Amino acid sequence: MGLISPPTIRKTNDGTYEVIAGQRRLHACQKLGWVELEVFIASMDDNDAVGTSLVENMQRADMHPLDKARGLDSLVTRLGSDKDEANTTRLSLTTVRKYLRLLSLLEDLRMQPGTANGPTGVGALATLASKFETPDKQRKAWELVRGFSSGTAQDILRRSEGDLDELEELKEQALSGELGVERCGDSLRECPWLEDLPAMQKNKILNILVED
């Protein structure tokens, strides 16, 4: 009796064990009445343990992007830099910085990228934060692009370079169909957004590519 992906635990200083990854799986097995369960025993320090746990939580489809951002922010405070965090969590530096940017948005704007919007929803708000730093400009910019798909909104915001007048012109171009669409790399495999998808969704896309 066992799981395809057993929980990961580590030994603590007081001789007990704590679950690093797989807490939900462990609870499910307990509800089923299992008394024995295969686990991985890992040797890792506190920072690695927090990073591993955070990465697993970020794969959950029901976890709000803002909660992911707060988790990453907490870890970067422990580690000292976003680069160290990327190394610890094995997330790309782009992904780490994208989520951290959400925390510089106005409070109500932080809640905009719900889980249904996926990674590109987060990308649009992260671009908003990077291009428009003041609360006033953030709100005005978001009002201009909020009706577009998240991908189009991100493209418009990026091209505007933080200029609200330019953003107005880009919005009109997009509405009239004049705004060019850039290729996402030379193939889907090279698309930068693919790297930020949850592992299960990313593998599913790559498997389709192999089958084709």
**Residue 184 pLDDT more than 70?**
no
**Do residues 9 and 39 lie in contact, with contact meaning Cβ atoms separated by under 8 Å?**
yes
Please check the confidence at residue 179 and state whether its pLDDT lies above 80.
Answer: no
Over range 2-8, report the average pLDDT: 73
The domain locations on the chain are 1-43, 46-104, 115-181, 187-212
Q: How confident is the model at residue 61 (pLDDT cuts 50, 70, 90)?
A: low
Q: What is the pTM of this model?
A: 0.61
Residue 128: CB atoms within 10 A of its CB come to 29
- 119 versus 101: which is more confidently predicted? 101
**Weakest mean pLDDT among 52-56, 151-155, 177-181, 195-199:** 195-199
pLDDT band at 2 (very low <50, low <70, confident <90, very high): low
pLDDT at 162: 92
In the β-sheet with 8-11, what is the strand arrangement from edge to edge? 17-21, 8-11, 40-41
Reply yes or no on whether the pLDDT at 18 is more than 90: no
Residue 182's pLDDT is what?
Answer: 47
The token duo for 190 is 């090279």
Residue 140: the pLDDT is: 92
Under DSSP, the state recorded for 184 is S
Residue 5 has pLDDT above 80, yes or no: no
Mean pLDDT (whole number) for 170-195 = 63
**Scanning the structure block, which residue is given the tokens 């692009």?**
145
The number of angstroms, rounded, from the C-alpha of 20 to the middle of its chain's C-alpha atoms is 20
If we measure between CA atoms, which residue out of 187, 192, 182 comes closest to residue 209?
A: 187
Q: Are 158 and 128 in contact (CB under 8 A)?
A: no
Question: What percentage of the chain carries pLDDT values higher than 90?
Answer: 11
Distance of CA 196 to the CA centre of its chain: 6
**Contact assessment for residue 120 and residue 150, using Cβ atoms and an 8 Å cutoff:** yes
Checking if the pLDDT of 44 tops 50, the result is yes
